Structure 1
Amino acid sequence: MSKSNLVVSTKTQIKVMKKKKKSLTLTQQRALFGYLFIAPFFVGFILLFLTPLIQSLTFSLSKLSVTSSGYHLTYIGLENYEKVLKVNPNFVPSLLANVTEIISQVPVIIIFSFFAASLLNQKFKGRAFARAIFFLPVILTSGIVLAIESTDLLVNSTQGASKEEIEKSTTALKFLQFKQFLYAINIPGPIVGFLVAAVDQIYEIVIASGVQILIFLAGLQSVPKSLYEASTMDGATGWENFWKITFPMVSPLIIVNLVYTIINTFTSADNQIMSLVRHTIFSQSEFGIGSAMAWVYLGTVAIILTVLSLIVLKLTSRYKT
């Protein structure tokens, strides 16, 4: 090989080595894709939400006075928060009732969503139609349908008061029989109360489970079938396959659905606290007190979300593959 060819070959190898050094590793590529995936959220948060968030925090620490040129803020510290927690007669009871309702509903929604997704993941005729049926309430509970449902226009226009009373008494009798049956088979009282509350709220649970079912269904479909085939050949039962393969593979999605369910429930249109905040700000023009309510509510949501997430992580960590 001539000297000139050797020089050219050496330069080519150096260029190839430089290109290899510049190329990203698999971990770096995944990290880059992750940053690109969440980039729209951060851009939207900075451009659309950051300024109102800071303004709301400023309002909660100030007293707003309307002037001819706009409004004037007077810093008063935590006075608005003291009024919300100690003076306002509606906020704390509504908050406690809301938190109790959420804590009782969230586990039922997660369990029902996982159970429904497991059923819809099976092969049967009309599976696509069944999936659409479960997701249909998510679409129907938006816009005018939700308004009609919340005001009971359809019920009031087709039923009389006497018929409503009969239906309520019949429902109460059925639940009394259901309670007696559960007590008869020696189920503990707290579990009986939990089951009765879950059955009583089955309509709201089904409506609130559409997105969670889709998330669980996507996770179930991502589990390799070869794992089930190998475990079945080794003599594993369906119950063992569930706890050794299905649940560990899908358990990370429980956190996702938990976060979604809590946020979706806390920000629903029929939420008592949300209605109270809107009424305080827009009807009573108490911007400082209303903003303080919103921040206390946000802090409560954050605490509940953190505690429940830690509990779920603790419970699911033992099933990780």
Structure 2
Amino acid sequence: MNKKRMTLTRKRALLGYAFILPWLIGFVFLFAAPLVQSANFSFHELKVAPGGYELRFTGLKNFNDALFVDANFNRILTESVTEMVWNVPMILFFSLFSAALLNQKFRGRTMARAVFFLPVILASGAIAAAETSGLISLTGSSEVAKELGEMQSGFDTLSLIFLLENAGFPEWFINYIVDGVMRIYEIIRSSGVQILIFLAALQSVPPSMYEVAKMEGATAYESFWKITFPMVSPLILTNVIYTIIDSFSNSTVTQTIYETAFRSQNFGLSAAMSWLYTLVVAVILVIIGVLISRRVFYYN
């Protein structure tokens, strides 16, 4: 009796389900209940009682207070979105440029890749927790930060501005480049994961494509735009989504929501702010995902 073989499409579908299964299990057992509870809190006024808490239904009052009564939420949310729009292209350009350099063959390449990812590890919660518990000691970090600040403050920005102005660049572009140079450490710290993703994409490009392009007389510039960029475009979409979410994960909005809940003890208003924040991020992700996905090239 012959068994029916599974098609390639079916195998890929099962592989996709297996890939998201850990996340799905974690969401159902760890996040689904708090998510529903947060939505419930946003429509109620929560008061702490001796036996736990009491809820009083208020309808859309918490959302109205967050948007039209609170003096800071709208401004902070707008500033966070504006900062995200300003930073994401800068981080992506730096990540792709760095990945292209690190993909070259040179001595010490592994160490160089580790150096670019090191700021991500140092900025993680694990390092902060280990330092708090006394397992490690990052003494002298304040002095290093002070020295870095002095080095940045001593950067000759006027020469760079004059150079870009003489090259004919518009004022907004000059301000963008100067701001990126002055915040180079912040950009490096935010680019570690993106560099690794782009590096994996560059290593997956078949070398035969570059060999054929070189035989046809294509320059390095043409090879980048005709081969490298289209081949890594699917992961450009991945990095854009990751960078947007990462920029919102530790912003002033999340700090405001936390302070509203645990310092002001206004859990209903905090839940409403969280849901408004989530909706704004979701709308941005959908719009950017649709726009970029139309230009993505998938190689089969």
Same structural fold, with TM-score higher than 0.5 when normalized by the shorter chain: yes
CA displacement, residues 24-58 of structure 1 (integer Å, 9 cap, x when unaligned)? 11110111111011011111101100100010111
Residues 3-42 of structure 1: pairs in structure 2 closer than 5 A: 15-16=1-2, 19-20=3-4, 23-42=5-24
Seen in structure 2, the aligned counterparts of structure 1 residues 181 and 103 have a Cα distance that, compared at 3 Å, is same
Higher helix share: 1
Does residue 63 of structure 2 align to residue 81 of structure 1?
yes
Deviation, structure 1 residue 68: 2.6
1:200 is matched with 182
1:250 is matched with 232
Identity of aligned residues (%): 45
Separation of aligned partners in 2, 1:230 and 1:144: 46
Partner SS for 2:161: helix
1:305 is matched with 285
Residues 81-230 of structure 1: pairs in structure 2 closer than 5 A: 81-143=63-125, 170-171=154-155, 174-230=156-212
Does residue 35 of structure 2 align to residue 53 of structure 1?
yes
CA displacement, residues 142-163 of structure 1 (integer Å, 9 cap, x when unaligned)? 2476699xxxx95766899xx9
What TM-score, normalized to structure 2?
A: 0.89
2:260 is matched with 280
Does residue 272 of structure 2 align to residue 292 of structure 1?
yes
Separation of aligned partners in 2, 1:164 and 1:238: 35
What TM-score, normalized to structure 1?
A: 0.83
1:5 is matched with none
Seen in structure 2, the aligned counterparts of structure 1 residues 180 and 240 have a Cα distance that, compared at 3 Å, is closer
CA displacement, residues 272-317 of structure 1 (integer Å, 9 cap, x when unaligned)? 1111111110111100001111111111111222222233334x34
Seen in structure 2, the aligned counterparts of structure 1 residues 263 and 184 have a Cα distance that, compared at 3 Å, is same
Seen in structure 2, the aligned counterparts of structure 1 residues 229 and 300 have a Cα distance that, compared at 3 Å, is same
Partner SS for 1:71: strand
Does structure 1 conserve the Cα–Cα contact (< 8 Å) formed by 2:121 and 2:127?
A: no
Give the AA of the match of 2:233. Answer: S
Deviation, structure 1 residue 168: 7.9
Separation of aligned partners in 1, 2:150 and 2:198: 39
Aligned-residue Cα RMSD (Å) equals 2.6
Deviation, structure 1 residue 176: 3.7
Seen in structure 2, the aligned counterparts of structure 1 residues 63 and 190 have a Cα distance that, compared at 3 Å, is same
Deviation, structure 1 residue 169: 6.2
CA displacement, residues 231-289 of structure 1 (integer Å, 9 cap, x when unaligned)? 22222222221122111111000011111111111112xx2111111111011110000
Deviation, structure 1 residue 212: 0.6
| Unpaired segments ≥5 residues, structure 1 | 1-14
Separation of aligned partners in 2, 1:37 and 1:217: 21
CA displacement, residues 69-117 of structure 1 (integer Å, 9 cap, x when unaligned)? 2212122111101111111111111111111111110011111111100
Give the AA of the match of 1:259. Answer: I
Partner SS for 2:53: strand
Does structure 1 conserve the Cα–Cα contact (< 8 Å) formed by 2:152 and 2:182?
A: no
